[in-house]
Amino acid sequence: MYKVFVNDKPIIITSSLKKENNYPVYDFQNIIFDDILHKLKDETIKGINLYTSNLKDDWLIFLQNIEVIPAAGGLVLNPKKEVLFIFRNNFWDLPKGKIEKGERIETAAIREVEEECGIFNLSIIKKITITYHIYFHKGAKLKETHWFLMNSDFNGQLVPQTEEGITAVCFKNDTAIDEALKNTFENIKLVYDTYKEG
């Protein structure tokens, strides 16, 4: 199964016939890509299921319809097991950014977290997941973000990268995380839930 968010609404591409939500179901073979994006602009539609009998091949076809922007980021823990969050455009988020040409995914993830948060001494524990979301800038783009669980014993001053629109950076405990997750994006909730599931 693949889940691609468009304005926090999921396009679920699945080979399972089991209905796990109330979203309309379309046959992948019969869809027109732009029509699907248009349908999601309808306020009454909260998501869409695309059924396929060949998930692997049809996912590759889906990717051919859109420019893919690879990105990487981190869910960073400090020694107290608090999670590092950034505040950008009035939403809590996790640090991430585009992978530069020729750059390793892990290197990009660490670099982006360092740049956006002014943090150092980062080490990667493991990969958490990959999230997908479509945004619109000179046409539709699919951001494919590779997320890593990281830790850091950095105890200096965190510095938000204001030129990227980040206005705050902080570590949050469980109570503060619950509050932040009420004002974040669906793919960030997905990353956090995947991390919590271990």
CA angle 2, 23, 141 (to 5 degrees): 45
Instruction: Tell how far CA 48 is from the center of its chain.
Output: 18
Residue 50, strand partner residues = 13, 26
**Secondary-structure percent of the chain, ordered helix, strand, coil, rounded to 5:** 30, 40, 30
DSSP at 28: G
Please tell me whether the overall predicted TM-score, pTM, comes out greater than 0.85 for this model.
yes
pLDDT at 20: 83
Q: What is the pLDDT of residues 96-107, one digit of tens each?
A: 999 999 999 999
DSSP at 153: -
Asked if residues 28 and 41 have their Cβ atoms less than 8 Å apart, the reply is no
Q: What is the pLDDT of residues 146-186, one digit of tens each?
A: 999 999 999 999 999 999 999 999 999 999 999 999 999 99
Asked if residues 133 and 96 have their Cβ atoms less than 8 Å apart, the reply is no
Confidence of residue 26 (pLDDT cuts 50, 70, 90): very high
Phi-psi label, residue 102: left if phi above 0, alpha if psi -120 to 50, beta otherwise = left
For the chain, give the percent of residues with pLDDT over 90: 91
Residue among 128, 97, 118 nearest 170 (CA)? 118
Domain boundaries, the chain: 2-64, 67-197
pLDDT at 43: 86
Question: Which option is the CATH number for 67-197: 3.30.750.24, 3.30.420.40, 3.90.79.10, 3.40.50.150?
Answer: 3.90.79.10
For residues 41-66, b (16+ Cβ closer than 10 Å) or e, as one string?
Answer: eeeeeebbbbbbeebeebeeebeeeb
